[in-house]
Amino acid sequence: MALALGNIGYKDAQSVLTQIINQGLSDKNQSKQKVRGALHGLIILATFHNNKVEGFDKVDTKQLLTYLKHQETQLEASYLLARVPLLDSDNMTPFLELLPELAPPAKANLIRALAKTKQRQVLPTLLKHLDSEHIGVRVNSIRSLANYQENPVSIAGILQALTFDDSISQVTALQTVQAVWLKSPELLSSVKAKLKHDNSWVQSEALLALIRADKGDKKTAQQWLESDDSNHQRAAIAYYVKQNDKDNLKTLAESKRKIIANGAEQALTPEQETAKEASKTEDALPKLPAIVKLETTKGVITIKLFADTPYTSANFIELVESGFYNNTYFHRVIPNFVAQGGSKVGDGSGNVDYSIREELFYRSHLPGTVGMATIGKDTGGAQFFINTAPNIHLDSNYTIFGEVIDGMGVAIKLEQNDKVISAEILRK
């Protein structure tokens, strides 16, 4: 019930949920499940109904500290702290002291929350966890350096992350680079060097970092206009969009490379994709959970489709059987969040020409669950996403129609520009 209050945006939801949270676990009428629901509901209220939120000063942070100490409520408590401004210089110390005791997902969330305070005593913690074995802790530590723009220690942290072998750390570091930081000759040199990296995602993020600081490499952008690599093309058109030369953009809009043409056209006539009413429902619905095998450029991912999301599952099965997903891109990969695929073009375009209705259930966006990507109510089609971290702020707002039953390690390793080589139904 508490979760539902947040999801529907009930006018008194914030007050009711805050009261439940503040009662604490010592109240004999209070269960951990009820507390979890209240924490979760407040997370969703803040995410999807922030116009109905009036600040969080009435939330008892001492109770949140208690919830962090209980495994059953730890994830929701840390998630709320990460997404709303509850910590400050006056109350953060006990949370910082508790950090080492937390499970990795909660630790990743709390790192994000602590860094938002912009207190200097948090910086050593960020630096300590830059090379964490847990991807969420590592990624959030790198990203959180952006909260300390004027502190040279942040630049040192980014330089360190750029030396790591894994592409996820390097991509995250490049995405975190602030324009003002590129006044540092050492960092500027390191970012430029990544233009020659052997991974095109790293290369493209290096150019994008330079573009943000008006230091884009024109020669590289020109070369990448002719590249067959979608990462190169996306970064190249970003350079020319930033230049805002209308005549040049008109020429690029005629490019045979769809990503270049799409980017130029969008810059010339920016239009937001609008939601339309659902246009398709299936007649023949699956009776048993189907099993789908995705052969990707990183390896095999096996997904079980749920029978209680019949329209979404049937649509996915139909697209698999038609060969739609063969040679499609994972065009949107955000480390420690999602890997989104189903795009015929590497920029997210190339979807189907219809939409299906949503089927929202109780399931949570936990790692390995598979959801239908949308741009609004009942706008699902072909694009899907694999949750690579707990994303409970998305709950009850996207259809979860499957789960990875084998190959989760492959899913976590997916990078922007990886592809589904082929898809097949193993059982339906």
Instruction: For 50-65, write each residue's pLDDT tens digit.
Output: 888 888 999 999 999 9
**Cβ–Cβ under 8 Å, residues 352 and 344:** no
Average pLDDT over residues 333-349: 96
pLDDT in tens, 280-338: 666 656 666 899 999 999 999 999 999 999 999 999 999 999 999 999 999 999 999 99
DSSP letter, residue 376 = S
Res 96 pLDDT > 80: yes
**Cβ–Cβ under 8 Å, residues 200 and 417:** yes
Edge-first strand listing for the sheet containing 299-305? 328-329, 419-427, 291-296, 299-305, 400-406, 369-372, 384-387, 338-341, 332-334
CA angle, residues 18, 392, 370, in degrees to nearest 5: 160
CATH architecture of 277-427: Beta Barrel (2.40)
Q: Give the residue extent of every domain in the chain.
A: 1-117, 277-427
How many residues are given for the chain? 428
Contacts of 79 (CB under 8 A, 6+ apart): 39, 43, 109, 390, 392, 393
Average pLDDT over residues 376-400: 95
pLDDT of residue 237: 98
Query: Predicted confidence band at 180 (pLDDT cuts at 50, 70, 90)?
Result: very high
Tokens of 85: 């401004």
Determine what percent of the chain is predicted with pLDDT higher than 90. Answer: 85
Q: How far apart are CA 235 and CA 355, in angstroms?
A: 30
pLDDT of residue 50: 84
Contacts of 259 (CB under 8 A, 6+ apart): 230, 233, 234, 237, 345, 346, 347
Is the overall model pTM greater than 0.75, yes or no?
Answer: yes
* Mean residue pLDDT across the chain: 94
Average pLDDT over residues 180-206: 99
C-alpha dist (Å) from residue 312 to 341, 344, 353, 382: 15, 19, 15, 10
Q: How far apart are CA 312 and CA 359, in angstroms?
A: 7
Query: Predicted confidence band at 159 (pLDDT cuts at 50, 70, 90)?
Result: very high
Helices (H) and strands (E) in the chain, counts: 19, 9
Res 211 pLDDT > 70: yes
pLDDT of residue 311: 92
Among candidate residues 329, 349, 340, the one with its CA nearest the CA of residue 271:
349
pLDDT in tens, 249-276: 999 999 999 999 999 999 999 876 665 5
